[in-house]
Chain A
């Protein structure tokens, strides 16, 4: 079974600074997808960024980027120029390749942004 580990229960960052959230996963598959979801206090899950395992290039979405290390099974999220609105729970998630669409979530990292 796949597992997703987020080793940082809580993190904090100064506004405008950069923070990196860690995620590791365990799988025997070669084709899969990885995601970072954000859950603000409203509890609405919002997709931040996704990465296809077959792509070597790291995904980027504006201030959000990932460092995907397939061999190490590591998938960290970097948030640049942190904003107050970035404060939320961040969940790393894994989904197998074709044929199964389930998401396995990590336990989450609570990010606080200090003004």
Chain B
């Protein structure tokens, strides 16, 4: 149980276009989901916390107009990278919190974004 999926797993886009990444909790409801960014050989950096039915909370230094997050249902959160540029190329990982799960987060497999 507690499986989180992400789609797509890889995406290549042209500079200036927008890309949407989906994060789904497959077998549980997640009131809270998280979006991370991971650069090569580095740790996970929290970008934002996504709460179902409310606005996401962004970490300091993360542009909310650049990285749009929507958590429209208890099983789906989306991250849209708007007007992507090469410096946005990275590995994006989502996670979902299982209610009453000792704060444990279950992670999706990640999305590799390459902006040309």
Residue contact A42 to B109, C-beta cutoff 8 Å: yes
Residue contact B43 to A45, C-beta cutoff 8 Å: no
Main secondary structure of the interface of B (DSSP, over half): strand
Residue contact B34 to A102, C-beta cutoff 8 Å: yes
CA A107 – CA B93 in complex, angstroms?
16
**With contacts A45-B107, A101-B105 known, is A108 near B49, CB below 8 A?**
no
In the complex formed, the residue of B with least CB distance to A9 is B41
CA A104 – CA B46 in complex, angstroms?
8
**With contacts A91-B44, A107-B43 known, is A101 near B91, CB below 8 A?**
no
Cβ of A35 under 8 Å from chain B: yes
Residue contact B32 to A44, C-beta cutoff 8 Å: no
Count of chain B residues with Cβ under 8 Å from any Cβ of A? 20
Interface Cβ pair total, 8 Å cutoff: 51
Residue contact B104 to A45, C-beta cutoff 8 Å: no
Count of chain A residues with Cβ under 8 Å from any Cβ of B? 23
Residue contact A103 to B46, C-beta cutoff 8 Å: yes
**With contacts A43-B91, A52-B102 known, is A105 near B43, CB below 8 A?**
yes
Question: Could you mark each residue 7-28 of chain A with 1 if its beta carbon is under 8 Å from any beta carbon of chain B, else 0?
Answer: 0000000000000000000000
Residue contact A101 to B43, C-beta cutoff 8 Å: no
- The minimal Cβ–Cβ distance linking A31 to chain B, given in whole angstroms, is 11
Residue contact A44 to B109, C-beta cutoff 8 Å: yes
CA A43 – CA B40 in complex, angstroms?
11
Instruction: Please give 14 more A-B residue pairs, beta carbons under 8 A apart, in addition to A103-B95, A105-B44.
Output: A33-B102, A37-B107, A42-B109, A43-B38, A44-B107, A44-B109, A44-B110, A45-B44, A45-B93, A91-B43, A91-B44, A95-B103, A96-B103, A103-B34
Binding site for A on B (CB under 8 A): 32, 34, 38, 42-44, 46, 49, 91, 93, 95, 97, 102-107, 109-110
Binding site for B on A (CB under 8 A): 33, 35, 37, 42-47, 50, 52, 91, 95-97, 101-108
